[in-house]
Structure 1
Amino acid sequence: MSFLAEPPSSAVRGALWMVLSCAILSLLAGLVRYLSSLDIHPFQIVFCRLFFAFACFMPWIARRGVGHLRTGQTKLYGLRSVVSMAAMTTWFFAVALIPIGEVTALSFLSPLFMTVGAALVLGETVRLRRWTATVIGFLGALVIIRPGMMEMGDGQWLALASAVLMGTSSLVIKTLTRFDSATKVVFYSHLFMTPIGLIPALFVWEWPEPWAWLWLAAMGPIAVLGHISLTKAFSMADASAIAPFDFARLPFAVLVGWFAFGEVTDLWTWVGAAIIFTSSVYIARREAVLSRAKPARDMP
């Protein structure tokens, strides 16, 4: 039982942060779905989510000081903000149009784009076994969405576009975490995105009911916790190793959809989930073995 005393590898810690992020962001998806049912326009929801999340950083800035926010990655933050803004907007629209579980299933395409990008753009080493496990996870997502057996409407296409954009954004996050802390990455992203999100919101703005502001404000801290967890995950391991654990959003999304909206998930969704989690567990085990073997190879 001596292995219990060993600290978890960076890959395992990254996976745990990713799973935590999946749980929090699934809760956020449920909240977005509820706010959309109140006839609040997705553009307004996007802006309020960004504004209240940015407000959560004010105590942190007051405690740490403005000097702590220095960064040399301004252009990269600008790129990340534009891509993330597009990903968030398409995702919020998709959640408003189709069930949460379906949006989540389609978003599982994101890790595939991310793994390819990690190898081609970031130059990360993606071994054959990890490629195989990632593709198997992608096939599990295909079992869920069953292409050719369901109609692709506006919601599905928006969810697909969001998946591509999220994969691109994740690659930029991975690059940023090489230079800045997870909290700083999330702060600067909101600093750039909040004014961007205000522009389209102004064209559709209608004042919600006073009690709805409580739910709108709640999106802020939930989003901050979810994205800090996500950024911490990318800072601890290769993007291609962390990406498959994004599939953990499925059971969390299914639970939120069931409890809050009475959505019932069919058998094929659970079959696909089993395939996905099998591949994810294999990747975690493989990365842990490689992490332990590396010090031994480095010894003279």
Structure 2
Amino acid sequence: MPTQTPQNPLVGMAWMVVTGLCFVGMTAFVKLLGSRIPAGEAAFLRYLIGLVFLIPMWRDLAAMRLTRRQWGLAAGRGAVHTLGVVLWFYAMTRLPMAEVTAMNYMTPVYVSLLAVVFLGERLAIRRILAMLAALIGVLIILRPGFRTLDGGHFAMLGTALFFSVSYLLAKIQSGELPASMVVALLSITVSVGLAPMAVMDWVAPNLWDLVLLAGIACFATAGHFTMTKAFASAPVTVTQPITFLQLIWSVGIGAVFFHEAIDYWVILGGIVILSAATFIAWRESVLNRKIMPPMNAAKF
């Protein structure tokens, strides 16, 4: 019988702090990349470079035999994740880092709602109130009618939705395939899905662009590794609140390095959304269910 990893909340929290630094570093590198490289091409090159990390498992991939249903799940997840990645890269060229980070907190809330629709989860009053609170958080960030909304705001709403669908499909896959194969299939299918978008609007990347893209791939891979360590060491209800630090770091890096104005409404909205997501995660743990994804689990 396999042995479980001993739970250590402090170690889990420490790993989640490192995870946050990795994902914020990835976001900063995307911001540095800017809009010279189109969003579809930038996302494609990031995933193409990331395929290097699959080399150690190529034998397992070659020996894998999937059913038609499993191929369908892999293709479906690759398609929705591709759309989410492109929208995320686009939003990063249009919005401050803090707004992207805050709106990304909606992903777990979307997952909880989709679980009700597609997995038959019961929609209790507490979950309804938490979702309404998250919606209020989004309205606080967007403030429609009080400022002009950018295409990046709508892109981030779409990003969170597509990543939520991707997570639910991953849950189905994880019941049939090893976790490493689920990740590998995502990397391959997203690379294939992004290729046509990249070719249609190709801009030759220079050496600096490639360095930044390699950095994005490294930060994303390291972030997923440390996130896995965090959730092996402590429950999601312990580690999820730590993701609030990502918003603080995003505000700081955006202000210092990219001269982005600090928007306290964005910070307030992010706190509201994160609080709602954390409450839902706590309720899931009380009910002994595993529907809620960890923060950033569906990203890259």
Classify the TM-score, shorter chain: 0.7 to 0.9
RMSD (Å), alpha carbons: 3.8
CA contact (8 A) 1:87 1:163 kept: yes
> What is the aligned partner in structure 2 of residue 7 from structure 1?
7
Aligned residue identity for 2:90 = F
Where does 1:47-66 land on structure 2 (aligned, <5 Å)? 47-61=44-58, 66=62
8 Å CA contact 2:74, 2:185 repeated in 1: yes
What corresponds to 2:79 in structure 1?
82
Q: Which residue of 2 aligns with 1:203?
A: 200
Deviations 1:241-282 (A, max 9, x none): 999987765334324423431223222223233434444554
Gaps of 5+ in 1: 1-5, 292-300
Which of the numbers 160, 163, 170 marks the counterpart of 2:167? 170
Structure 2: segments with no counterpart, 5+ residues? 1-5, 289-300
Find the residue that maps to 2:207 and give its secondary structure. Answer: coil
Question: Quick check: 1:275 aligned with 2:293?
Answer: no
Within the candidate set 144, 149, 156, 2:146 is matched to 149
Q: Is the 8 A contact 1:27 1:256 kept in 2?
A: no
Q: How far apart are residue 95 of structure 1 and its match?
A: 1.0
Q: Who is 1:32 aligned against?
A: 30
Q: What is the rounded CA distance, in whole Å, between the counterparts of 1:226 and 1:159 in structure 2?
A: 20
Aligned length: 280
Change beyond 3 A, Cα 1:57–1:188: same
User: Which segment is superposed worse, 105-114 or 18-27?
Assistant: 18-27
8 A contact 1:101–1:254 mirrored in 2: yes
| Amino acid across the alignment from 1:202 | V
Measure how far apart 1:169 and its partner are. Answer: 1.6
Instruction: Specify the code of the residue in structure 2 equivalent to 1:74.
Output: W
- SS of the residue corresponding to residue 114 of structure 1 reads helix
Whether 2:113 is the aligned partner of 1:116: answer: yes
Which of 122, 134, 139 does residue 137 from structure 1 map onto? 134
Query: What's the CA shift for 1:203?
Result: 2.6
What does residue 188 of structure 2 align with?
Answer: 191
How far off is 1:32 after superposition? 1.3
TM-score, structure 2 as length reference: 0.75
Three-state SS of the structure 2 residue aligned to 1:40 is: coil
Q: Percent identity?
A: 28
The match for 2:39 among 42, 56, 70 is 42
Q: Deviations over 1:118-172 (max 9, x none)?
A: 1221234554334433432342332222232221232222222222222222221
Cα 1:75–1:40, aligned 2, differ >3 Å: closer, same or farther?
A: same
Q: Residue in 2 aligned with 1:257? A: 254
Contact 1:36 1:42 in 2 (8 A): no
Give the distance between the partners of 1:55 and 1:194, measured in 2 at CA.
Answer: 12
Query: Who is 1:103 aligned against?
Result: 100
1:28 counterpart letter in structure 2 = M
Once structures 1 and 2 are overlaid, which stretch shifts more, 49-58 or 215-224? 215-224
